[in-house]
Amino acid sequence: MNLDSIIFQLSAIIIGAAVLGTMFLYARQPIIIAYIAIGVIIGPSGFGLIKNTDHIEQISHIGVILLLFLIGLNLQPARLMGLFRETSLLTFSTSLIFFLVSMLFAILIGLDLHSAVIFGAAMMFSSTVIGLKLIPTTTLHHKRTGEIMTSILLLQDILAILFILYLAGDKSGPVLLTFTFLILKFVLIIILSFAGVRFIMTPLLMRFDVIQEYTFLATLAWCLLWAVGAHVLGLSYELGAFVAGLSIASCSVALVIAEHLKPLREFFLILFFFAVGAGLSTDIEPWLLIAAMLFGMLLVPMKAWVFRRAFKWTGVSASPSRELAARLGQSSEFSILVAYTALTMGLLSGENAMLIQLSTIVSFVVSTYWVVLKYPTTIAGDDRLRQD
């Protein structure tokens, strides 16, 4: 039997996730943890049923792209700009605090200053996937809590993308000039995508809106077109997909499109969380393993406390502050990408990169349990907390 066959590997992932997910649901545990756990069990660090997960990771990235596209579909540009103005100071100030605390921890456990800076930068972001996956759709799209969280996560994503591009780029040139070009490229994508919707997509969707297959195909193509376009221009797939969704949000069929794409998004997100678990390795010094697990567990309450204080300072009432803080308490999938980029560029050792990855995964698990057990989610084990 060919274990490297993509059909076999996808089958193993889905069957394993279904079996383990069923067990987790009977035990009233978050099903996302089952997806990560199956990655650990059948991935390279477990039984090795799937030894090479590179192609699975690439395929799973489509889930994140679709997630950002659907977020854009449910936001109006004018409202988003207003939210950015409200949350920009809070986002930048809290990110700076997380950076300094994480860098200090890295120095205390013996990392050199250069590695500590990368560790601090990696840990200052929150997870877009975890945050938006665990919030009910009604809250995300129709309540202020969801709007605030979305704007913070998007601003953090932009910061993360800029940092990754800086790590991978030429450091000899002026940093300000590099970032200016990135902003100009971002603005160019916005202008072209909105113009494309007005002159191409809207007429086509109005002409063929009764053919659901075409609507699905055309909008999915629009999402991937701008995701790839953003990547070609040196930005990220996710940023391009978000702009694509935002540009088409004013179309009358936007909500119908969103409903059609949800099952596709869920499939690819299962692969995403599998890839997270499969990337877990304990092949590092025992004291670093303990440090990673300890920091991952402490990071979540630390971030939640800082966010809660910041939200109160900006005028958000106590109950939404606590919920928002808990939902933003983890590290980010971009943390893993920062570690990978720094390792590839020779800026970080293998053990230090694994320290970042392990800390991130532990924070995913701790944060998911906290949110699922205490706040409304789509996957809550408690019927009273389960909301779509």
Which residues form the domain of 296?
A: 6-374
When mean pLDDT is compared across 117-121, 166-170, 337-341, the lowest value belongs to 166-170
80/245 Cα distance (integer angstroms): 13
Would you say residue 63 lies in a domain? yes
How many other C-beta atoms lie within 10 A of the C-beta of residue 1? Answer: 5
CA 379 from chain centre, in angstroms, equals: 18
pLDDT 10s digits, 342-357: 887 788 888 888 899 8
* 169 vs 222, higher pLDDT: 222
Contacts of 313 (CB under 8 A, 6+ apart): 90
pLDDT 10s digits, 16-39: 999 999 998 887 777 888 898 999
289/114 Cα distance (integer angstroms): 20
Would you say residue 140 lies in a domain? yes
pLDDT 10s digits, 353-381: 889 988 998 999 899 889 988 888 877 66
What is the reported pLDDT for 173?
55
**Tokens, residue 22:** 């069923």
Number of domains in the chain: 1
Concatenate the DSSP letters of all residues of 8-26 into one string.
HHHHHHHHHHHHHHHHHHH
Would you say residue 122 lies in a domain? yes
When mean pLDDT is compared across 2-6, 85-89, 324-328, the lowest value belongs to 2-6
Query: Which CATH number characterizes residue 24's domain?
Result: 1.20.1530.20
Task: Report the Cα–Cα distance between both ends of the chain, in Å, rounded.
Answer: 41
73/258 Cα distance (integer angstroms): 7
What is the reported pLDDT for 168?
64
In 3D space, the residue among 56, 72, 57, 64 whose CA is nearest the CA of residue 219 turns out to be 72
Identity of the amino acid at 380: A
254/141 Cα distance (integer angstroms): 13
Average pLDDT over residues 170-186: 69
Would you say residue 385 lies in a domain? no
pLDDT over 50 (residue 275): yes
What is the reported pLDDT for 124?
93
**Tokens, residue 300:** 């979540």
Confidence of residue 170 (pLDDT cuts 50, 70, 90): very low
Identity of the amino acid at 178: T
DSSP secondary-structure letter at 382? S
In 3D space, the residue among 356, 294, 333, 361 whose CA is nearest the CA of residue 116 turns out to be 356
Would you say residue 176 lies in a domain? yes
pLDDT over 70 (residue 263): yes
Would you say residue 154 lies in a domain? yes
Would you say residue 232 lies in a domain? yes
Would you say residue 328 lies in a domain? yes
Confidence of residue 288 (pLDDT cuts 50, 70, 90): confident
Alpha helices in the chain (DSSP H): 6-26, 31-42, 54-73, 77-108, 113-123, 128-133, 137-142, 144-168, 175-196, 202-208, 212-232, 237-248, 254-278, 286-313, 318-327, 333-344, 350-374
Long-range own/partner contacts, residues 180-186 (CB < 8 A, 24 or more apart):
182/234, 182/235, 185/233, 185/234, 185/235, 186/235, 186/239, 186/243
